């Protein structure tokens, strides 16, 4: 993994995710240079400086995009706004929830993303998925082949602190589209807009929000209801199998980064083992899952387990994991794979140094697991007859 901040895994992870999400190496270098000394103080201590440095670059990009628009250069403006969105959201995700400037940065990032999509003409629809008395937002990315008839579709969920814009930025939906598959990128409860703007906390019962996503897809005449898959990365390595186990309309399930025993992992983290994916970690997870105290959270966390769950999965099931994952232990990948005893077609793929991608969810490369998963999904959808 590219590590411009020696010893600061969290900031290095953020840099790599920004690069994978379409960031420019020169712009990112300019964001990192002024805060190298601050990085030595720890991920939590310097997050405000990280925030300000990245926003300085994002703000300038927005100004540059406006200059493009003054000359009717929509595609150039779209490209700049897309990168600005990535920088705003990368800065925002590292902040504590009580850090007021994060909210304006998040909204600005969303605005940049929408404007980028509209100016660039990308095949993306902004949709809402009913959820209880509320709704959560999603992006429907239509495959070109969908114009020829109903196409297969994959429901993609976030991890603990990722957002639908991040997943779009890393090219997963585009990789599927090239293979004739549409994608529904969710900001499910506990993530993205659902958490930040609608106060919808996460739940261990992933099917409670995944089933409404399937309801939405089967209502579309450009989606083949017999070929709807479920995908998740990072904490989505828990959510996706849980959703597939309890929602029989999914025809396959794939994960990037197994997360079989996330609840158990919290005990390890409490003992300061393993890496934290975000600063202010304990306050963050309490916020995500709507818990009011660390004691309440630790009592609730064991519900986040796939023991007794993956046995219910009968469809094709793919588990992928990086051999050098510093956040989630490799043993969880083996647990999910071994316990999926009723899957009709299961596969475990561990990425090694020969693949040039060993870190958590491919943070050190960003293409290998993505493309492997897209190929695996496409191959299995081809064996099913369109409805």
**Structure confidence by residue, pLDDT tens digits, 231-288:** 999 999 999 999 999 999 999 999 999 999 999 999 888 886 455 667 788 999 999 9
Calpha distance 321→196 (Å, rounded): 29
Is the pLDDT at 387 greater than 50? The verdict is no
Would you kindly state where each structural domain of the chain is located, as residue ranges? 9-119, 123-382
**11: confidence class by pLDDT, cuts 50, 70, 90:** confident
Q: What angle do CA 375, 180, 84 make, to 5 degrees?
A: 85
Question: Tokens standing for 115?
Answer: 């404007």
Taking the model in full, what pTM does it have?
0.94
**146: confidence class by pLDDT, cuts 50, 70, 90:** low
Q: What length is written for the chain?
A: 387
**148: confidence class by pLDDT, cuts 50, 70, 90:** confident
**Segment among 50-64, 113-127, 241-255, 258-272 with least mean pLDDT:** 258-272
Q: Which H helix or E strand runs over 70?
A: helix 47-70
Asked if residues 349 and 235 have their Cβ atoms less than 8 Å apart, the reply is no
Question: Tokens standing for 296?
Answer: 């309440």
Calpha distance 89→91 (Å, rounded): 5
CATH architecture of 123-382: 3-Layer(aba) Sandwich (3.40)
């Amino acid at each position: 993994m590219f590590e411009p901040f020696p010893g600061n895994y969290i900031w290095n992870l953020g840099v790599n995710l920004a690069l994978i999400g379409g960031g420019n190496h020169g712009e990112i270098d300019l964001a990192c240079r002024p805060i190298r000394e601050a990085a030595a103080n720890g991920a939590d201590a310097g997050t405000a400086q990280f925030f300000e440095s990245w926003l300085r670059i994002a703000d300038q990009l927005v100004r540059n995009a406006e200059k493009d628009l003054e000359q009717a250069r929509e595609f150039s403006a779209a490209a700049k706004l897309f990168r600005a969105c990535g920088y705003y959201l990368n800065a925002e995700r590292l902040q504590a929830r009580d850090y007021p400037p994060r909210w304006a940065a998040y909204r600005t990032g969303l605005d940049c993303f929408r404007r980028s999509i509209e100016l660039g003409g990308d095949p993306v629809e902004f949709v809402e998925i009913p959820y209880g008395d509320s709704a959560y937002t999603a992006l429907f990315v239509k495959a070109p082949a969908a114009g020829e008839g109903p196409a297969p579709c994959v429901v993609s969920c976030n991890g603990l602190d990722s957002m639908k814009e991040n997943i779009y930025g890393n090219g997963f939906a585009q990789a599927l589209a090239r293979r004739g598959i549409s994608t529904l990128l969710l900001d499910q409860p506990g993530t993205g807009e659902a958490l930040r703007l609608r106060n919808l906390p996460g739940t261990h019962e992933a099917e409670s929000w995944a089933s409404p996503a399937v309801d939405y897809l089967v209502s579309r005449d450009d989606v083949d209801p017999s070929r709807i898959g479920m995908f998740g990365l990072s904490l989505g390595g828990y959510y996706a199998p849980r959703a597939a186990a309890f929602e029989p309309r999914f025809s396959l399930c794939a994960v990037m980064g197994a997360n079989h025993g996330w609840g158990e992992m919290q005990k390890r983290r409490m003992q300061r083992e393993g890496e934290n994916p975000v600063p202010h970690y304990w306050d963050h997870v309490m916020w995500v899952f709507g818990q009011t105290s660390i004691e309440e959270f630790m009592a609730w966390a064991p519900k986040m387990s796939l023991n007794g769950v993956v046995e219910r999965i009968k469809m094709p099931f793919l588990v992928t994991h990086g051999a050098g994952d510093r956040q989630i232990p490799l043993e969880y990948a083996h647990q999910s794979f071994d316990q999926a005893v009723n899957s009709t077609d299961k596969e475990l793929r561990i990425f090694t140094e020969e693949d040039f991608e060993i870190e958590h969810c491919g943070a050190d490369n960003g293409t290998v697991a993505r493309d492997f998963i897209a190929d695996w999904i496409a191959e299995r959808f081809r064996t099913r007859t369109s409805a």
